[in-house]
């Protein structure tokens, strides 16, 4: 919170900053290549196949070769494309994907060529908000790609993705709030140090679950991959992209996967802190070891991404949006209220844990009683509605009800009228039959 | 400024210039989507200027709210309206130019007066001083929002909630009959006259464009369902060449 906490950042010599930038860039590209191979192998294994195993040991170089192939392919730009926007869309996507990694911590302070420096490019008081901001810029790439392709399926994919990412960003942002409350900060390095005794995934489990759900929606991955639903939209927003531009979208998607996994690790799984049995070893959280813990945690998240893709069918669009707005967002709001109330009670009124539990039990009991009465009221109102509905449905159709020409209600049959006389005519089926 | 931070000056001229360019582009571009993009560019550059002026929270919120949500909704609406819909250039509001000029002048006077007063009357204490009062930029904004400006903050949120409620009322449609469940829809599909599931996909023996080649049923006859209606109407359906089919079967070791 004080200046001294950020004192370790922003004082690196220029060559070290360049080195960190370069290492992060190379690491993200390598992680992308690895993740594509890993995904194909794991999905294959889950589907009783073998997967890529020809290029290099275990097929490890397969995604590299695929990348070369993509880059050397002919580039096709549709005639109807809006060229400027069409060009810039993949650039925005890929750039935003790389930018978000600037504030992800990989480890504690280490010595690089004799300079003491944290394993993190930079950090500032609102770095988690920075990641959210960059993510919201990244959506532009997808939406603009859909718009500028001058084609229907990409447009629909772009529309879906803008709606989807805005909706899930709300739930995602709200899942951060409880973390901010407990860490007392929005900077990634301070959030990690606030998790020293116990991870936030344990004490803030609902936030963690909400974040993990919304991060799948945010990265357009199965089962929430509606913007590129192959069965419905061909390829969604990138249908009209080929060659290197398509490769950039591909790269952006996989880097985004790594980014949200790294963010989940940072916010909920203690970042580079060693997991429990290892944390008993004294030097587990010093030197270069934490980089390994970090990598393992991120890879676990990526494995979950792949697992989900191999297991779950794609959601229907309306169910997906309903889930986001009517389940995730209200659940996060209620959870934040509980967390905030508990913290105020503990810090300002100084209640003990036991008193807190008793208060919680009383609140839950009151809510149960209220909901029981509320259910009764809802049932009664529904019964009245049904009565009214039945009454109206059984009424014969009156084309001039209330003095205005009105269409028939569902279930009512409009009588055919002769155009000349306005009198009812015998229906055609009656004659045919 | 000579011994000061030259990095800050570079940021100011680059970001400021881009922000002005974006603002000009917003007015001058003919396509609505290009205008929206220019606004996004301006917003991002303003955010960079905020961050450079030790207001990181404001900068990030600017990007999240304006670039990420507001402009994205604009783009969304533009896309729903349609890519090629041309803007009507007929002015429907009478005398709007005059009103606009008067309001613009008023705004300009206000801005000049405000900034002028700020430059002459106020003695700057420095950004570190301001941010240091509460131990940081975020904490400072939080304290102001929840103490001095609490009423304004709450009134703004009430306004936003009212707007959201209004939008919901406008978009609301009372559902007359209960929504058909997936089971009911599926039953209706099977009882109805149409094909219950996906139509069979087009021919697998295509040498040209597969869409115009009918799929073959197990007895070797073509399936009419596998060809899109418009192609049939245009007469673009490829006849099945049984000799070709046999050739391919013999190549692939298919059913003999």
Q: What is the pLDDT of residue B132?
A: 75
Q: Kindly indicate the confidence band of residue A4, based on its pLDDT and cuts at 50, 70 and 90.
A: very low
DSSP string of A41-72?
A: HHHHHHTT-----SSSGGGTTHHHHHHHHHHH
The pLDDT tens digits for A389-422 are 777 767 777 777 778 888 877 667 776 666 666 5
Would the CB atoms of B176 and A139 count as touching at under 8 Å?
no
pLDDT greater than 60 at residue B104: yes
Q: What is the pTM of this model?
A: 0.77
Q: What is the pLDDT of residue B133?
A: 76
Res B84 pLDDT > 80: no
Residue A58: pLDDT band by 50, 70, 90 thresholds?
A: confident
Distance between CA A427 and CA A433 in Å, rounded? 10
Going by pLDDT thresholds of 50, 70 and 90, the confidence category of residue B172 is confident
Q: Rounded to a whole number, what is the distance in Å from the CA of B110 to chain A's nearest CA?
A: 31
Which pLDDT belongs to residue A421? 61
Residue A433 has pLDDT above 60, yes or no: no
Q: Which residue has the higher pLDDT, A1 or B152?
A: B152
> Which CA distances in Å does B159 have to A167, B152, B164?
21, 10, 9
Neighbouring-strand partners of residue A109: A118
State the nearest Cα–Cα gap between B101 and chain A, in angstroms.
33
pLDDT at B82: 61
Q: Which residues, in sequence order, are bridge partners of residue A424?
A: A417
pLDDT bracket for residue B248 (50, 70, 90): low
Given this model, what pLDDT does residue B223 score? 82
The answer to whether the Cβ–Cβ distance between A166 and B40 falls below 8 Å is no
Q: What tens digit of pLDDT does each residue of A282-324 get? A: 777 777 788 888 888 899 999 998 999 889 888 888 888 888 8
* C-alpha dihedral (A265, A269, A272, A275), degrees to nearest 10: -140
Query: What does the pLDDT look like over A217-264, one tens digit per residue?
Result: 888 887 888 777 776 777 778 888 888 888 888 888 889 889 989 999
Residue A2, pLDDT > 50, answer: no
Cα(B80)–Cα(A1) distance, rounded to whole angstroms?
A: 45
Share of chain B above pLDDT 70, in %: 89
pLDDT bracket for residue A26 (50, 70, 90): very high
Could you tell me what percent of chain A has a pLDDT over 90? 7
Residues of B contacting chain A (CB within 8 angstroms): 31, 33-34, 37, 40, 44, 47, 56-57, 60-61, 63-64, 67-69, 72-73, 75-76, 78-80, 83, 135-139, 176-177
> What does B143-185 look like in DSSP terms, one character per residue?
HHHHTTTHHHHHHHHHHHHHHHHHHHHHH----SSPPPPHHHH
């Amino acid at each position: 919170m004080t200046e001294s906490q950020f004192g370790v950042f922003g004082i690196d010599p220029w060559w070290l900053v360049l080195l960190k930038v370069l290492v992060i860039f190379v690491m993200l590209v390598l992680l992308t290549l690895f993740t594509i191979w890993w995904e194909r192998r794991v999905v294959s294994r889950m589907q009783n196949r073998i997967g890529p195993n020809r290029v290099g040991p275990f097929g490890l170089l397969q995604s590299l070769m695929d990348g070369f192939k993509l880059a050397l392919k002919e580039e096709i730009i549709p005639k109807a494309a809006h060229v400027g926007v069409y060009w810039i869309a993949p650039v925005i996507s890929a750039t935003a994907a790389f930018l978000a990694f600037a504030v992800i911590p990989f480890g504690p302070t280490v010595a690089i060529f004799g300079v003491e420096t944290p394993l993190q490019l930079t950090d500032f008081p609102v770095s988690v908000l920075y990641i959210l901001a960059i993510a919201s810029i990244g959506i532009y790439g997808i939406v603009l790609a859909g718009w500028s392709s001058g084609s229907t399926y990409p447009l629909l994919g772009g529309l879906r993705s803008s709606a989807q990412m805005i909706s899930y960003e709300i739930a995602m942002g709200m899942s951060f709030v409880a973390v901010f409350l407990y860490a007392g900060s929005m900077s990634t390095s301070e959030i990690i140090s606030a998790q020293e005794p116990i991870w936030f995934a344990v004490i803030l489990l609902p936030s963690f679950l909400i974040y993990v759900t919304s991060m799948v929606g945010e990265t357009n991955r199965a089962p929430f991959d509606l913007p590129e639903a192959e069965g419905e939209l061909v390829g969604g927003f990138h249908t009209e992209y080929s060659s290197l531009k398509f490769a950039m979208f591909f790269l952006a998607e996989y880097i985004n996967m790594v980014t949200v996994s790294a963010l989940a690790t940072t916010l909920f799984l203690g970042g580079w802190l060693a997991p429990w049995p290892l944390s008993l070893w004294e030097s587990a959280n010093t030197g270069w070891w934490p980089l390994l813990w970090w990598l393992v945690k991120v890879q676990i998240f990526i494995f979950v991404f792949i697992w989900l893709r191999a297991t779950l069918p794609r959601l229907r669009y309306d169910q997906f949006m309903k889930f986001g707005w009517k389940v995730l967002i209200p659940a996060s709001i209620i959870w934040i209220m509980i967390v905030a109330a508990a913290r105020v009670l503990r810090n300002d009124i100084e209640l003990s844990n036991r008193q807190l539990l008793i208060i919680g039990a009383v609140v839950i009991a009151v809510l149960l009683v209220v909901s029981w009465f509320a259910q009764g009221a809802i049932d009664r109102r529904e019964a009245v509605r049904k009565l009214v509905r039945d009454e109206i449905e059984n009424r014969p159709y009156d084309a001039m009800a209330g003095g205005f020409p009105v269409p028939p209600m569902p279930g009512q049959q409009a009588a055919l009228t002769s155009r000349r006389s306005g009198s009812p005519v015998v229906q055609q089926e009656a004659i045919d039959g | 400024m000579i011994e000061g931070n030259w990095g800050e000056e570079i940021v100011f001229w680059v970001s400021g210039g881009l922000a002005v360019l974006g603002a000009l582009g917003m007015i001058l571009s003919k396509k609505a989507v290009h205008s929206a993009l220019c606004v996004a560019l301006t917003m991002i550059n303003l955010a960079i200027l905020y961050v450079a002026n030790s207001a990181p929270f404001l900068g990030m919120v600017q990007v999240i709210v304006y670039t990420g949500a507001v402009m994205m909704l604009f783009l969304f609406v533009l896309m729903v309206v349609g890519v090629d819909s041309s803007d009507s250039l007929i002015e429907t509001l009478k005398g709007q130019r005059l009103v606009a000029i008067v309001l613009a002048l008023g705004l300009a006077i206000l801005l000049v007066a405000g900034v002028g007063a700020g430059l002459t009357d106020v003695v700057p204490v420095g950004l570190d001083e301001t941010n240091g009062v509460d131990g940081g930029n975020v904490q400072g904004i939080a304290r102001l929002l929840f103490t001095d400006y609490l009423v304004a903050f709450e009134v703004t949120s009430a306004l936003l909630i009212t707007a959201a409620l209004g939008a919901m009322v406008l978009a609301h449609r009372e559902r007359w009959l209960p929504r058909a469940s997936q089971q009911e829809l599926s039953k209706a599909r099977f009882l109805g006259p149409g094909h219950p599931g996906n139509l069979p996909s087009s021919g697998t023996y295509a040498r040209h464009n597969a869409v115009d080649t009918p799929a073959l049923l197990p007895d070797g006859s073509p399936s009419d369902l596998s060809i899109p209606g418009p192609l049939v109407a245009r007469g673009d359906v490829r006849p099945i060449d049984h000799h070709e089919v046999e050739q391919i079967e013999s190549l692939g070791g298919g059913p003999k």
